[in-house]
Amino acid sequence: MNSRLRFFMVKMALCLPVFQFAQISPFIQVDQFGYRPQSAKVAVLSDPQIGYNRSQTYQPAGSIQLRNATTDVVVYESSPLLWNDGNMHDQSGDKGWWFDFSSIQTPGSYFVYDPLNQQRSAVFEIGENVYQEILKAAGRMYYYNRCGIEKKEDHAGEAWFDESSFDHPLQDKNCRYVNDRENESLEKDLSGGWFDAGDYNKYVTFAHSTIHNLLWAYQESSSSFDDNWNIPESGNGIPDILDEIKWELDWLLKMTNEDGSVHIKMGSIDFSDNSMAPPSANTDPRYYGPICSSAAIAVVSMFAHAAKVFADIPTMENYSELLKQKAVAAWEQVLPQLINGELDEGCDDGTIKAGDADWDTTLQQENAVTAAIHLFDLTGLDEYEQYIITNLEQTEQISTGFWGAYKTALNDALLLYTTIAGADVNTVQTIVESVFKEADNNWNGYFGFNDLDLYRSFMPDWSYHWGSNSPKAGYGVLNIQLVKYGIIPERDQSFWLKGEEQLHYFHGVNPLGLVLLSNMYDLGGDRCVNEIYHTWFADGTQWDHALNSPKGPPPGYVTGGPNMSFSVADLSPPSGQPMQKSYLDFNDNWPNNSWEISEPAIYYQANYIRLLAAFSNARTTTSTTGQSFQESTFEIGPNPTNGMLILKGSFPGFALRVISADGRMVIPFIKPPAERWRIDLTKEPSGLYLLQLMDDAGNTVHSEKIIRK
Q: If we measure between CA atoms, which residue out of 639, 636, 642 comes closest to residue 683?
A: 642
pLDDT band at 676 (very low <50, low <70, confident <90, very high): low
Q: If we measure between CA atoms, which residue out of 525, 519, 507 comes closest to residue 549?
A: 519
Please give, one letter per residue, the 3-state secondary structure of 312-362: CCHHHHHHHHHHHHHHHHHHHHHHHHHHHCCCCCCCCCCCCCCCCCCCCHH
Q: How far apart are CA 659 and CA 687, in angstroms?
A: 11
Task: Check residue 613 and give left, alpha or beta (phi > 0: left; psi -120 to 50: alpha).
Answer: alpha
Q: What is the DSSP letter of 153?
A: H
* Residue extents of the structural domains in the chain: 3-126, 631-708
pLDDT band at 651 (very low <50, low <70, confident <90, very high): low
- Phi and psi, residue 267, nearest 5°: 160, -150
What percent of the chain is predicted at pLDDT more than 90? 83
Quick one: pLDDT at residue 664? 74
What architecture does CATH give domain 631-708?
A: Sandwich (2.60)
Mean pLDDT of 434-445: 97
Q: How many CB atoms lie within 10 A of CB 637?
A: 11
DSSP for 88-113 reads -BTTTTEEEEEEE-TT----EEEEEE
Quick one: pLDDT at residue 296? 98
Convert the pLDDT of each residue in 599-642 to its tens digit.
999 999 999 999 999 999 644 333 333 445 455 456 787 888 88
Q: How far apart are CA 602 and CA 607, in angstroms?
A: 9
Query: Widest CA span of the chain, in angstroms?
Result: 93
With beta carbons less than 8 A apart as the criterion, state whether 439 and 577 touch.
no
Q: How many CB atoms lie within 10 A of CB 522?
A: 10
Q: What's the pTM? A: 0.88
Q: If we measure between CA atoms, which residue out of 481, 349, 351, 339 comes closest to residue 405?
A: 481
Mean pLDDT of 315-324: 97
Q: Which of 2-11, 347-356, 604-613 has the lowest mean pLDDT?
A: 2-11
pLDDT band at 647 (very low <50, low <70, confident <90, very high): confident
- Phi and psi, residue 585, nearest 5°: -80, 85
Q: How far apart are CA 290 and CA 265, in angstroms?
A: 8
C-alpha separations of 639 from 631, 645, 677, 685 in Å? 17, 8, 15, 15
Pairing of strands 81-82, 124-126: unpaired
With beta carbons less than 8 A apart as the criterion, state whether 389 and 414 touch.
no
In this structure, which amino acid lies at residue 359? W
Mean pLDDT (the chain, rounded)? 92
pLDDT band at 122 (very low <50, low <70, confident <90, very high): very high
Q: How far apart are CA 585 and CA 561, in angstroms?
A: 10
Pairing of strands 81-82, 94-100: antiparallel
Please give, one letter per residue, the 3-state secondary structure of 640-684: CECCEEEEECCCCCEEEEEEECCCCEEEEEECCCCCEEEEECCCC
Q: How far apart are CA 89 and CA 141, in angstroms?
A: 34
> In the chain, what is the straight-line distance between the N-terminal and C-terminal CA atoms, in Å?
87
Pairing of strands 202-203, 265-267: antiparallel
Q: How far apart are CA 174 and CA 196, in angstroms?
A: 20
Domain 3-126 in CATH 2.60.40.10: yes
Q: How far apart are CA 361 and CA 342, in angstroms?
A: 9
Quick one: pLDDT at residue 1? 42
Task: Check residue 475 and give left, alpha or beta (phi > 0: left; psi -120 to 50: alpha).
Answer: alpha
Quick one: pLDDT at residue 92? 98
Does position 443 have pLDDT exceeding 70, yes or no?
yes
Convert the pLDDT of each residue in 254-283 to its tens digit.
999 999 999 999 999 999 999 999 999 999
Convert the pLDDT of each residue in 135-177 to its tens digit.
999 999 999 999 999 999 999 999 999 999 999 999 999 999 9
Same topology for domains 3-126 and 631-708, yes or no? Answer: yes
- Phi and psi, residue 501, nearest 5°: -70, -35
